[in-house]
Amino acid sequence: MLIRGGDSLEKVRRLSAVVFDKTGTLTRGRPEVTDVVPLAGPEPTELLSLAAAVEQSSEHPLGEAIVRAAEQRGVPIAPGLSDFDYRPGRGVRARVNGEAVLLGNRRFMEESGINLAEAEEALVALESEGKTAVLVARASRLVGLLGIADPAKPEAAQVVAVLHRLGLRVLMLTGDTRPTAQAIARAVGIDEVIAEVLPQEKLAAIEALQKQGQVVAMVGDGVNDAPALARADLGIALGSGSAVALETADIALLGDDLRGVVHAVELSRRTVRTIKQNLFWAFIYNAVSIPVAALGWLNPMIAAAAMAFSSVFVVMNSLRLRRFSPSL
């Protein structure tokens, strides 16, 4: 890990809550299309082709998953994309061959006046499995939805368990729907979920926790996480994340392994404990030796040796940190 400064390590010791972003942080960050559910009009291949046509200009992980699924299944991507308009935390609006097409979440469709009654059963089924549902509408009518799965990282549950054991409150913060978020949270052992938040609302969620008296660490990897990483008492960015997130964070993990979060917490506590031990022994030598010397009972050579031993002890005690071994 890269630690921006000594004050960052000191902040870790005072943490009371750790907030994780979901996509790409708790999950692998490489989602896959698992379900293609047409509702009216198009066949599954046509629905996937239409969705991929819109998302071919997107850099969002879900958009990339849709395009990748079309390519892997040999589905031709519909031509004629124009008027591409990305709405952060909601979805995408564009035209394909002159026809208006919308892709996005439930909130985006409702705001656009799309009737979701036909999709309700399929939506509930996908979300209960922890999948993200991407709704597809054409010409102001819902034509289908895609189920996209992004499984949790294998180490995520173990990391959450250790953080709980260290006395920290652990939360998940995500723009996904609550059922989808809760399914992932259950899988990794997180009890508190803040779901359905837009990128700008993540900042407000961090501030709300701080107003409760929590000292908060935010763990994220995306551009959308940067404001929350900056506002948190301690920002931790995954090395596989965006440059903006890495620049904003106080600690950068070299890779996407979440165990680095546990390493940071344990190393911070161990370092501060070592500093306190060093201060104690440095002061105790002086506290004992100065009165004895003032009474004339201390040979100067013994005093010099004691002073040297004090310095050597502090150095040797600090070097024990090189043998630090995290619990994960």
DSSP sequence for 237-278: EETTS-HHHHHH-SEEESSS-THHHHHHHHHHHHHHHHHHHH
The residues, ordered by sequence, that sit 6+ positions from 177 with a Cβ below 8 Å of its Cβ are 105, 106, 127, 132, 133, 195, 196
* Residue 159 structure tokens: 């990391």
Q: Which residue is it, tokens 């440095």? A: 282
- Active-site residue flag, 225: no
Q: Which residue is it, tokens 């399914």? A: 183
The residues, ordered by sequence, that sit 6+ positions from 184 with a Cβ below 8 Å of its Cβ are 22, 26, 27, 130, 152, 172, 176
- The catalytically annotated residue of 7, 21, 225, 250 is 21
Q: How many CA atoms lie within 13 A of 172 on its CB side?
A: 32
Strand order in the sheet with 32-38: 32-38, 141-149, 132-138, 99-104, 91-96, 81-87
**Active-site annotation, residues:** 21
